[in-house]
Amino acid sequence: MKNITIYDIAKEAEVSVSTVSRVLNNTAPVKASTKDTIMKVIEKYKFQPNALARSLIKKETGTIAMIVPDMTNPFFPEVFWGSENEGREKGYTFFLCNSAGEYSRESEYLSILLERRVEGLIFIGGRINLADCPPELIREVTEAAEAIPVVLVNGNLSKGSLHRVYTDEAAGAALAAQHLIDLGHKEIAFVGGLDYMTTTMQKVKAVKKKLKEHGLSLRSDWVHYGEFSITAGRELMNRLLNGEQRPTAVICVNDFTAIGAMKAAIERGLKIPEDLSIVGFDDSPLSTAVIPELTTVTQNAYELGRLAVERIYQIIHGKPAKRSTVLQPELVIRQSTGRAPQKNGD
The binder of a second copy chosen from 12, 34, 37, 98 (CB under 8 A): 98
Q: Which residues contact 160 (CB under 8 A, 6 or more apart)?
A: 323, 324
Question: Looking at 23-31, 32-40, 69-77, 319-327, which segment touches a second copy (CB under 8 A)?
Answer: 69-77
Please, what is the minimum distance in Å from the beta carbon of residue 329 to a second copy?
20
Question: Looking at 10-18, 143-151, 158-166, 319-327, which segment touches a second copy (CB under 8 A)?
Answer: 143-151
Please, what is the minimum distance in Å from the beta carbon of residue 302 to a second copy?
10
3-state DSSP of the chain: CCCCCHHHHHHHHCCCHHHHHHHHHCCCCCCHHHHHHHHHHHHHCCCCCCHHHHHHHHCCCCEEEEEECCCCCCHHHHHHHHHHHHHHHCCCEEEEEECCCCHHHHHHHHHHHHHCCCCEEEEECHHHHECCCCHHHHHHHHHHHHHCCEEEECCCCHHHCCEEEEECHHHHHHHHHHHHHHCCCCCEEEECCCCCEHHHHHHHHHHHHHHHHCCCCCCHHHEECCCCCHHHHHHHHHHHHCCCCCCCEEEECCHHHHHHHHHHHHHCCCCCCCCCEEECCECCCHHHHCCCCCEEEECCHHHHHHHHHHHHHHHHCCCCCCCEEEECCEEECCCCCCCCCCCCCC
Sign of CA dihedral 137, 139, 143, 148: positive
Count residues binding a second copy (CB under 8 A): 52
Please, what is the minimum distance in Å from the beta carbon of residue 97 to a second copy?
7
The binder of a second copy chosen from 35, 90, 117, 268 (CB under 8 A): 117
- Our CB check for a second copy shows the closer of 45 and 196 to be 45
- Our CB check for a second copy shows the closer of 3 and 220 to be 3
The binder of a second copy chosen from 51, 171, 270, 332 (CB under 8 A): 51
The binder of a second copy chosen from 43, 89, 136, 146 (CB under 8 A): 146
Please, what is the minimum distance in Å from the beta carbon of residue 269 to a second copy?
12
Q: Which of residues 148-187 bind a second copy (CB under 8 A)?
A: 148
Does 77 participate in binding a second copy (rule CB under 8 A)?
A: yes
Question: Looking at 144-152, 182-190, 208-216, 218-226, which segment touches a second copy (CB under 8 A)?
Answer: 144-152
CA atoms within 13 A on the CB side of 100: 4
The binder of a second copy chosen from 157, 290, 304, 312 (CB under 8 A): 290
Does 28 participate in binding a second copy (rule CB under 8 A)?
A: no
Q: Which of residues 228-287 bind a second copy (CB under 8 A)?
A: 230, 259, 262-263, 266, 285-286
Please, what is the minimum distance in Å from the beta carbon of residue 315 to a second copy?
9
Does 78 participate in binding a second copy (rule CB under 8 A)?
A: yes
Which residues are near a second copy by CB under 8 A? 1, 3, 46, 48-53, 55-56, 59, 61-63, 65, 71-72, 74, 77-78, 80-81, 84, 93-98, 109, 112-117, 143, 146-148, 230, 259, 262-263, 266, 285-286, 288-291
